[in-house]
Structure 1
Amino acid sequence: MGEEMNKDVTIDTPYITLGQLLKEEAVVGTGGQAKWYLREHTVSVNSEPDDRRGRKLYDGDTVQVPEVGTFTIRSK
């Protein structure tokens, strides 16, 4: 697989959920797949493992997705 990416994700709402982030960044196709994906892969939020697709991500939070990359949440 290629190089893992580091990407800023800009949001125009107070927060985005982990499931929404995975869907918007095309890691999964649907919210239902996000639940399965988080059960099968160790995704970290701010360096702590988290498998809750409803986890709220705010400005400055970082999400590490194995073999995909790191996403940093930024507010507009």
Structure 2
Amino acid sequence: MRATDTGLNGRAARLLTSEPTDDAGWPADLPAGTTDVVIVEDTPGPTVTLRVQTTGDAAPKSARVRFDQLAVRDTYAEG
């Protein structure tokens, strides 16, 4: 994913790290073991983060994650 990508709202993504962070390097407030999320913003903001939320939860949890720690679902191989 690039910082200039658009049209991301609603796209499924995979976290590329087991310890995702925000732009300041603070841990993202996501449940441990989260690997798949949904992007809820159209493009990375000025701080190069995207708001994402967990999937499959009764009460989805959202957090800001650096764009370079995410792979949009159609850009990685499942397996």
Q: TM-score, normalized by length of structure 2? A: 0.28
Relative contact order higher in (CA < 8 Å, ≥ 6 apart): 1
Q: Which is helix-richer, 1 or 2?
A: 1
Q: TM-score, normalized by length of structure 1? A: 0.28
